[in-house]
Amino acid sequence: MIQSEVSDRTMRMRIYVLILAVLLGALKLNAQVYAVGVGPNRGPLTTVRVDEHTWACGSLSLVQFRARSGEGAPWVRQTSVHLGTSSFIVRMPAFVVAAIALAPLFFLLTVVVWRVRSHDRA
């Protein structure tokens, strides 16, 4: 009986460890760090860009990052918008860029639904 309880606990622990490993493996961190000044004669390491998040859907993607011009300069959050082969950078968080991009679609959908409902009432 005691042997069975120990093996049950061991089996449960193995399952929990397996679940934890799968969950941690599914967690995707896309951080990338860019730095200058690496080497014996170039001075201290200065981080100039840190990629925070990447969202992609086909050929459309948003890359949110923090960047600065050098040591002691303030960090500025920016988003790189990639539309196929074209890209541009804006100085705002990615969720604001996504909200601005989706606002016209939401407005159009609202107008269409309102027109259909008002047409059905008439």
Q: What is the mean pLDDT of residues 15-34?
A: 64
Q: Which two tokens stand for residue 11?
A: 């089996």
* pLDDT for position 91: 93
How sure is the predictor about 81, in pLDDT bands with cuts at 50, 70 and 90?
very high
Residues with Cβ within 8 Å of 37's Cβ and at least 6 positions away in sequence, in order, are 43, 44, 45, 46
| pTM of the shown model | 0.57
Number of helical (H) and strand (E) elements in the chain, helices listed first: 2, 5
Range scoring the smallest mean pLDDT among 10-14, 41-45, 97-101: 41-45
Nearest to 62 by CA among 48, 79, 77: 79
Q: How far apart are CA 24 and CA 57, in angstroms?
A: 23
Q: How far apart are CA 66 and CA 76, in angstroms?
A: 5
Q: Which two tokens stand for residue 9?
A: 């606990």
pLDDT at 45 over 80: no
- On average, the pLDDT of the chain sits at 78
Range list of H helices, the chain: 2-26, 94-121
* pLDDT for position 6: 56
Angle in degrees, CA 50, 52, 55, rounded to 5:
135
Nearest to 34 by CA among 88, 80, 97: 80
Domain map of the chain by residue range?
Answer: 29-121
